[in-house]
Amino acid sequence: MKILIADGYNLLYRSRTGWGQGENPIVFNFIRSFKALVEKFNPDKTYFVLEGAPKKRKELMPDYKGQRVYSDHDDFYRQKKICIEFVKKFLPVEVVRHEDHECDDVIGYLATTRHSQDDCTVISSDTDFIQLLSRDTDRIKLYNPVRKKFLEAPDYDYVEWKALTGDKSDNIPGFERVGPKTAQKLVTNRSLLSEFLSIEDRLTRFEKNIQLISFENVDDKKLETTAGIYKPVEIKKMFEDMKFQSMLNDKYWANFERVFGDGEATI
């Protein structure tokens, strides 16, 4: 089977950019971009994964992602809800979330465990998913929708490399004077890495960063899942109400039906 796994919030935040249409430009951008991705990869099954709380990471580091500042200057939160409900109700897509795990963990679980025998394509511009490529480069692919290209697995341990450089976006501190090149030298030379980590508390910090960056195990039984049903009448009505005129022309609508008109998502 061909499995498409979309990083839901990553796509939603990406939809804040672009020209949009009508009074809900984020919704417009999201629908067009999501439809284009499903059309491009033509999967047998599509997942749309949402965020849960980083419970274990917060316990390990209370300031995890603590530096992030969120803005609603463009009416994002209202439109984000519309997009999520649209996928849940009207598209043959499985929407998945775990209350106590981040989206990354759930995607990692889907690609490596639930669909361990299938060809999986992960859609996200988040480089944390590179660690999946290090595990299985033949079966798992990572597509960056911003750069519009597949990312390749590095020839070193990505998690160790990132544990050394840190991750500013998640508020994970790296090591002083260790940039990308130095980190690569260390993780590709075990004796150098061992010598570097032998000083003071570096090994403890390194191991803590690895825990924060590595994907966590997810309990499948606690996944919150919604399977949508394709509803063309309701979708057209929504497009009309939101004045998405370009989505209502015969050519675009016929194409939209070809992409999503398969009925109900299977769980």
**Helices 232-241 & 76-90, crossing angle to 10 degrees?**
160
- To the nearest whole percent, how much of the chain has pLDDT over 70? 97
Spatial contact of 240 and 21, defined as CB atoms under 8 Å apart: no
In angstroms, rounded to a whole number, what is the distance separating the alpha carbons of residues 216 and 241? 42
Give the position of tokens 């191991």.
Answer: 207
Token code pair at residue 178 = 């260790």
**What local confidence, expressed as pLDDT, does residue 43 receive?**
97
Which tens digit of pLDDT belongs to each residue from 230-239?
Answer: 999 999 999 9
Dump the DSSP string for 158-218.
HHHHHHHH-BGGGTB---TT--HHHHHHHHT-HHHHHHHHTSTTHHHHHHHHHHHHSPPP-
Query: Distance of alpha carbon 63 from its chain centroid, rounded?
Result: 22
Handedness of CA 202, 207, 210, 211 (dihedral sign): negative
Strand partners, 119: 2
Domain ranges (residues) in the chain: 2-154+216-260, 158-213
Q: Name the phi and psi angles at 17, rounded to 5.
A: -105, 155
Question: Does residue 3 surpass a pLDDT of 60?
Answer: yes
pLDDT in tens, 187-200: 999 999 999 999 99
> Concatenated DSSP letters for 124-152?
-S-GGGHHHHHH-TTTEEEEETTTTEEE-
Q: Is 215's pLDDT higher than 90?
A: yes
**Per-residue pLDDT tens digits for 117-171:** 999 999 999 999 999 997 766 899 999 999 999 999 899 999 999 999 999 999 9
Q: Which two tokens stand for residue 133?
A: 């490529």
**215, two tokens:** 């994907």
Q: How far apart are CA 69 and CA 56, in angstroms?
A: 21
CATH number for the domain formed by residue range(s) 2-154+216-260: 3.40.50.1010
Average pLDDT of span 14-39: 93
Across the range 83-100, mean pLDDT stands at 97
Residue-level pLDDT at 266 = 58
Phi and psi at residue 235, in whole multiples of 5°?
-65, -45
**Residue 245, pLDDT above cutoff 70:** yes
In the block, tokens 């059309």 appear at 39
Give pTM, 2 decimals.
0.94
